[in-house]
Amino acid sequence: MNASATADKHGLAAGNAQPPSADWTIDQGWSNYSAAEHATWKTLFERQSRLLPGRACDEFVSGMKELPLRHDEIPNFEQLSDVLEKRSGWRVVAVPGLVPDEVFFDHLAHRRFPAGQFIRRPDQLDYLEEPDVFHDVFGHVPMLMHPVMAEFIQAYGQGGLRARQEGVLDLLARVYWYTVEFGLVQQRDGLRIYGAGIVSSATESVFSLEDASPNRIGFVLERVMRTRYRIDDFQESYFVLDNLEQLLALAHTDFDPVYARVQREPTLVPGDVLPTDRVLTRGSGRYHAAKRAQ
Ligand code: HBI
Ligand code: FE
């Protein structure tokens, strides 16, 4: 799919080395990337650059413009961080892949974004499970230039540490998933993408906005917290913000009473549509129905 990470009970994919340090950061080793690895970045970057005008939200586009991201080489995290930090206080640090939840949250709570050091193989251009440098940097870092997203993701890190202790991490992770990873937002000229899992995926950039199959539903916190998600395929429903400022209100919401209410309500499967939903598009469901019939 789109290289978006999700709660991985097993912690790490097979083949990864031992934790290199307590906070799991490693050296990016920028000069060690091969020409083939830079070429993979270029292929992905150019493909998304063609698809995203008129699809990505304004804040993504302006974040992208102001960052030292080149089409033809994997970015150097130090150079990138120097620009990002001046804007929003965030830095990008290299990690080998998925890191344990508490390590991930601690980085976010301190405005350090852990980015996969590696890049996907040429046979994985459209699908990989672990977040690589293209998903993490191209997908997430432009939005981290935006003060609202900068604050929201930090709050997610702080909330994640608490939610873990309270045994409600699944509920919080759904909010992250349907916003930071797969969120859509209403803008002046129509529906736009702000989720990193979508902007870093060629197929989902089109599917999420234009396909008749998925539902597009107005974002409501408790509704989203009840809704399971798919990690291995396109989403069956996307949740739509009226504007990105809604994330700022969310960052300052006390989730404890919300967790308590949501735990008393039934969990929803990804394709459910409720009578109380504000439905922008009622999806045909055809894409996932065809998959299930296979
Ligand atoms: N690690 N590198 C990395 N990137 C993620 O997005 C990530 C992670 N570890 C855990 C995690 N995400 C999720 O399980 C939490 O957001 C719940
Ligand atoms: Fe991600």
Residue 55 CB: number of other CB atoms within 10 A?
Answer: 21
* Number of domains within the chain: 1
Give, in order, the Cα–Cα distances in Å from 182 to each of 27, 81, 177, 179, 236.
Answer: 29, 24, 6, 5, 11
Confidence of residue 80 (pLDDT cuts 50, 70, 90): very high
Residue 237 lies in a domain: yes
Q: 279 CA distance to ligand 2 centroid (A)?
A: 26
Residue 2 lies in a domain: no
Residues with CB under 6 A from ligand 1: 5-7, 95, 98-99, 101, 104, 114, 131, 173, 176
Q: 97 CA distance to ligand 1 centroid (A)?
A: 9
Digit-coded pLDDT (tens) for 63-77? 999 999 999 999 999
Residue 7 lies in a domain: no
Among 99, 118, 135, residue to substitute to test ligand 1 (most atoms within 8 Å of Cβ): 99
Q: 275 CA distance to ligand 2 centroid (A)?
A: 31
Digit-coded pLDDT (tens) for 81-114? 999 999 999 999 999 999 999 999 999 999 999 9
Q: Which residues surround ligand 2, an ion (CB under 5 A)?
A: 4, 196
Q: 246 CA distance to ligand 1 centroid (A)?
A: 23
Residue 105 lies in a domain: yes
- What type of residue sits at position 218? G
Residue 279 lies in a domain: yes
The number of the ligand 1 atom at minimal distance from the alpha carbon of 5 is 6
Confidence of residue 18 (pLDDT cuts 50, 70, 90): low
Residue 220 lies in a domain: yes
Digit-coded pLDDT (tens) for 280-291? 999 999 999 999
Burial of 245 (0-12, 13-18, 19+ CB in 10 A): exposed
- The per-residue pLDDT for 2 is 37
- The per-residue pLDDT for 31 is 98
Among 1, 98, 176, residue to substitute to test ligand 1 (most atoms within 8 Å of Cβ): 98
- The per-residue pLDDT for 10 is 32
Residue 8 lies in a domain: no
CATH assignment at residue 47? 1.10.800.10
Confidence of residue 36 (pLDDT cuts 50, 70, 90): very high
Domain of 183 in residue numbering reads as 30-293
Q: Write down how long the chain is.
A: 294
Residue 95 lies in a domain: yes
